[in-house]
Amino acid sequence: MKKILLVVFSALIGIEAGAQTKEELTSSLHKYYGIKDALTSDNAKEAAKYAEVFSTYLRSNPYKGSADLLTQLQKISSAKDIAKQREFFALLSAQMIAMLDKQNVGEAGYIQFCPMKKAEWISNDKNIKNPYYGKSMLTCGKTTDSIR
């Protein structure tokens, strides 16, 4: 009986440790928006700063899928070239969108698509502000889905 309880208890702890809370998802999303906004403004230094802030948060609050996010965040924070940061941001965005799929985030967000880059991103603004081309093609793209 003790052995069965131990197995059940261990399984429950494992499930709970891997689950993202609404607060973790919201906090992650807000940090992601900082990177997106910096790239939209063509500011590589700010993008690196926000990627480091997001990395620090994930190292302190790990959850299922956060290791994959950390890989891209570290690449964004160490890249000096904004074009490289944008490449890594596309991968980060795909991971974030997959992680948020069918999750209840608790606030509205928009999944937007850049036809030139053929990549999506998440925005807290329904108006298009393209992080992949910044000021040179700021309004290029379309909203394809939403998150709640």
Residue 14 lies in a domain: no
pTM: 0.85
- CB neighbours of 93 closer than 8 A, spacing ≥ 6? 32, 119, 120, 121, 122
Residue 93 lies in a domain: yes
Residue 17 lies in a domain: no
Residue 108 lies in a domain: yes
Domain of residue 88: give its range.
22-147
Output the pLDDT for position 19. Answer: 57
Output the pLDDT for position 65. Answer: 86
Q: How many domains does the chain have?
A: 1
Count Cβ atoms within 10 A of the Cβ of residue 6 and give its class: 0-12 exposed, 13-18 middle, 19 or more buried: exposed
Output the pLDDT for position 148. Answer: 83
Residue 9 lies in a domain: no
Residue 5 lies in a domain: no
- Stretches in the chain below the pLDDT threshold 70: 1-19
Residue 104 lies in a domain: yes
Output the pLDDT for position 101. Answer: 84
Residue 6 lies in a domain: no
